[in-house]
Chains A and B, each alone.
Chain A
Amino acid sequence: QVQLQESGPGLVTPSETLSLTCAVSGASVSTDDFYWSWIRQPPGKGLEWIGYVFHTGNTNYNPSLRSRVTISVDTSRNQFSLKLNSVTAADTAIYYCAREKVAATTDWFDPWGQGTLVTVSS
């Protein structure tokens, strides 16, 4: 059974960098069949795809966040990470990591981590 678990600070100061890690168990991140993604959800609102990383280190980001986002993978630790810099209150959200199926059609996300709430506040 594949499981993903997010970890990182729950409170980040405005203008600083948000850093989260997603530990993967039950599967290897070093697979050609999946990307490893981050998705966020502001409290009470909808879902926003942030970006993904492939085990080779290749990435793809939401254009609206591209200038501030870095997603990386650590195959030796079977985990991947998110960094979002210059955060503002608008970045307050539940951050989910998810496995993204590389599909011939359109990729989907399954499973998801439980999510971690990150609040941006001084």
Chain B
Amino acid sequence: GQQVMQIPQYQHVQEGEDFTTYCNSSTTLSNIQWYKQRPGGHPVFLIQLVKSGEVKKQKRLTFQFGEAKKNSSLHITATQTTDVGTYFCGGGTSYGKLTFGQGTILTVHP
């Protein structure tokens, strides 16, 4: 079955440093979605990428979808303490259903 791998599992940064998490799928995806889960909370949708090579930005967050539609990345510039949480990628191959990566737990030291 489809597998979605996400690295790194943990990332500790100083406030102001950049952060990147990577997602790789064993199969070609129709779309990829990114979610953020704060400690004790539930996942919250950040963005969806659909097109090959697509790049989207949300303030300090940059999302990329690979040309082969099998990998993706989320980059945060100049992290803040409010960025703390677990970031999940979800690979979509059929309408609505997602296979989630393991998540990257981000901690930001002030």
A binds B: no
